[in-house]
Amino acid sequence: MEVVEYESNYKKKKILNVAQEHAMNGGVGSVIDYLTEGINSSDEFEADTMLINYDLKNMWHKESKLKTKDGKEKKLYTHEDLEDKIKEYDIVHIHGLPHYGLIEVLERVKNQDDGYLKIVNTAHSNVKQDFRSIYDAAKKDPGLKEEHQNLKYLLENGLLYNPRLFPENYWGSQILWQERIMSMADLVQHMSETYKNDTISDYLAECNDYKHVVIPNGVKVESENQIKERPKKKRITYVGRFSNEKGINELIEAIPRIIQEHPDAEINLVGGDKKGKTVERYKGRLRENIKNYFKVSSNKDIDNYMNKINFTGWVEPKDIKKHYEWTDYVIIPSNAESFSLVASDALANKRIPIITKTDSMDELYISKGIAFGIEPDKRHGEGIAQTVNEILDNHDSKEHDEMAEKGRQFVIENYSFEKMIENQMNAYRELLGGKNKKRKNATK
C-alpha cells in the first residue's frame, strides 16, 4: 500500500467539542453552542459536540451522545465505538474535564495516529482552587460542619499534593483527571493570565507552560437598539447557582444591611435548583436574618422587608435577559471565578457588575474601569453591604452611565462570541500547522 501526501486545504478540518452533559445547562453550554455555530459557518472547519457523563464507581462513561452539525444524536456505548469515531476528527476539544475512560481512549488514538490527532483542553476552572474555595466556604458555615470535616480530612491527608491517594473520591478523581488531560493536551486554554499562571503553579506544570494560552470566553452581544437603558431605581440582581463558593451566604447576610440604608432598593435573586429546594432554604435563611437584624417577630413585619426581595427560582438561560433589563447592577460575590460569563453578560446589557476583587476578576474587569470590586477581606455580610451601599449612593451619577457604556464597548471588543470564535479558530490553525497542513493518507 503506497502512502502519499496530499494538500488537504480543500477539505474542512473536523473539530469534536466534548463536555460533561450536566455542564451544558450553564455557561459552558452557551459557549459550546455558539462556538460550534461559528465554526460550522467557516470555510475551514466543521464541528460536532459529544456529551459525556460518568459513573464515579468504575470511572467509565455510561453513554456518550454525539450531536452532529445537523442536530442528530447517536449514542456510543463501547470503547471501540468511541475510538473509531474520534479517529474521524483532526482536533478533540475538551471543555472542562473528561472522565477517566475517555482519557484512555484519547491516549490510545493519539498513539495509533502518529500524533496527528490534536487535543485542546479549555480549563474552565482549576479543580484545586475550586476545592479551596468550597473548603473555605464550608469552614464559615455552621450548617456545613460535616462537609467541612470531610474536606479538612482530605486537605490534611495530602489531597492537593498527592491526589492518587484518593482515586475514588470525587475531589481526588477530578484533580487526577485535570492533571492527566492537561498533560496529554497539545494546547491548554485559560480564561485569564492570572488563572493560567495559578493553574500552572498549582499543577507544577512549568515545564509545559509553552502550551498554556489565554482565550477568554465570549458572550452574545445584541445590537444597540435591543439594549434597554438602566432603570436607575437602585435595583440589584444576583444570577447563578445558590452554592457556597458563589457567595450566596454572604449576600443573604448583606441584604438586611442594604435595605436598611436604602429602603427603596430592590433585589432580585435569579437561580437556585430546578426543584426549588435551595430557593426555599435561602428564603428561610433570609427571613431569619431579617428577623434578627431588624428585631421584628411578626410575619407581617418580616414580609414587609421580604417584599423587596424576589427569588425567581430556576431560570432557563434564554429567559435571563429580562432580568438584566430589570436591574441596574449585577452582584457577583464569588470567591473563585475564572472568567464570569455573568459579568460579561451584564456589561453587554449595559449593567454594571459588583464583583469580588480576586486577581483574575481584577485583571479581566475591575482594572479596566468597567466593574466595581468587593475587597476579598470584605467578602462578608457587613463588607458587601458597605460596598453596595456606597455604590447605591451614586446610582444615578454620570460616572455610572459612562461605566456602563464603556463596559459594553469593552465586551464587544474583547469578550464577544465573535472575538472568542476568531481567537479559537486562530488557535486551531496554529495547532494544525496552518490551513495547508499536509497529512499522510493511505490512497492505494
CB-CB neighbours of 348 under 10 Å: 23
Q: Which helix (H) or strand (E) holds 354?
A: strand 352-356
Half-sphere exposure of residue 335, counting CA atoms within 13 Å on the CB side? 25
Task: Kindly indicate the confidence band of residue 60, based on its pLDDT and cuts at 50, 70 and 90.
Answer: low
The Cα 92–Cα 184 span in angstroms is 12
Q: Where are the beta strands (DSSP E) in 225-299?
A: 235-240, 266-271
The secondary structure element, H or E, covering residue 94 is strand 91-95
The answer to which of 5-19, 35-49, 162-176, 234-248 has the lowest mean pLDDT is 5-19
pLDDT digits (tens, 9 = 90+) for 304-350: 999 999 999 988 878 899 999 999 999 999 988 889 999 999 999 99
Question: Residue 9 above 50 pLDDT?
Answer: no
| Helix-helix angle 27-40:341-348, to 10 degrees | 70
Torsion of CA 281, 282, 283, 289, to 10 degrees: 120
Q: Give CA–CA dist 100/177, Å, rounded.
A: 7
CB 413 within 8 A of CB 218: no
Per-residue pLDDT band for 443 (boundaries 50, 70, 90) equals very low
Q: Where are the alpha helices (DSSP H) in 10-99?
A: 27-40, 79-86
Q: CA 304 to CA 300: how far, in whole Å?
A: 6
| pLDDT on residue 442 | 31
Nearest alpha-carbon partner for 360 in 153, 193, 155:
193
Domains of the chain in start order, with CATH, are 7-124+185-218+418-438 (3.40.50.2000), 224-415 (3.40.50.2000)
Q: Which three cell numbers stand for residue 361?
A: 476578576
pLDDT at 2: 43
Q: Is the pLDDT of residue 190 over 70?
A: yes
Q: Look at residue 228 in the predicted model and tell me its pLDDT.
A: 94
